[in-house]
Structure 1
Amino acid sequence: MARNARRPVRPRASAGRLPKAALGLGSLLVLAGGAWFAGLPVLVSLVYLAMSLATLAAYAVDKSAAQANRRRIPENTLHLFALLGGWPGALVAQQWLRHKSVKASFLAMFWTTVLLNLGALAWFVSRGHG
């Protein structure tokens, strides 16, 4: 194959599975429903929404920087945004922007931040704050 020839397109690994964007948006809806029906403080839902929007924006800025060969947002910063409640927005960004969706080491740390965040939320609710 010539050096400049295009590679054949492979089917995406997520074909047939719940798309990440749907999982992220669904998670935000569950959090909003928790505030509405289960007494979870509305502020918690608003924090998740705000952090998700900030994280989505950070992914978009990072992808743009990568394409323009400019200074990138450090992966640790993206992970911190996810840990602080922005992981639903990160899921949306990973699918819609097709950014940070393949590198195994990044995804392993990302899913660790999701589990840590959900664990902290479960602890918060179990303490009677929800």
Structure 2
Amino acid sequence: MREILLFILTVWNIIVFAVYAVDKRRAQRHAWRVPEKLLVMQAILGGGFGAFLAGKICHHKTRKWYFWLTWLVGLLIDLGLLVLILR
């Protein structure tokens, strides 16, 4: 069961990373964007690691304080989930 939960958490973080990367690409092309509410919710709902990495690697949403706060909360939630899964 642990392996399945770790797999789900990993896949979710990859998806969140991809959504942030797609949003960055769309921003560069002045195309339709992913709503910020969705980006925030994904980070808080177990995608903090993926969101943080995407922010750092893609240089996306790094100037907005509330995204930094969201990433920190998301990372703490991810850490808590890892502790629960690995117990």
TM-score by length of structure 2 reads 0.77
Unaligned runs of 5+ residues in structure 2 are: none
Q: 1:109 — aligned with what?
A: 70
Q: How many residues were matched structurally?
A: 87
2:48 paired residue among 74, 82, 87: 87
Residue 85 of structure 1: CA displacement?
Answer: 2.1
Which residue type is aligned with residue 21 of structure 2? A
Higher helix share: 2
Q: 2:39 — aligned with what?
A: 78
Which gives a bigger RCO, structure 1 or 2 (Cα 8 Å, sep 6+)? 2
Q: Give RMSD over aligned pairs.
A: 2.3
Q: 2:5 — aligned with what?
A: 44
Which residue type is aligned with residue 84 of structure 1? L
Residue 63 of structure 1: CA displacement?
Answer: 0.4
Identity of matched residues, %: 31
Residue 112 of structure 1: CA displacement?
Answer: 2.4
- Measure the CA separation in 2 of the matches of 1:44 and 1:55: 16
TM-score by length of structure 1 reads 0.56
- Measure the CA separation in 2 of the matches of 1:105 and 1:80: 12
- Measure the CA separation in 1 of the matches of 2:42 and 2:13: 8
Verify the 8 A CA contact 1:52 1:87 in the aligned structure 2.
Answer: yes
Unaligned runs of 5+ residues in structure 1 are: 1-39
Deviation digits for residues 23-72 of structure 1 (CA, Å, limit 9, x no counterpart): xxxxxxxxxxxxxxxxx811221112101110111011100111111121
Distance 1:53 1:120, change over 3 A: closer
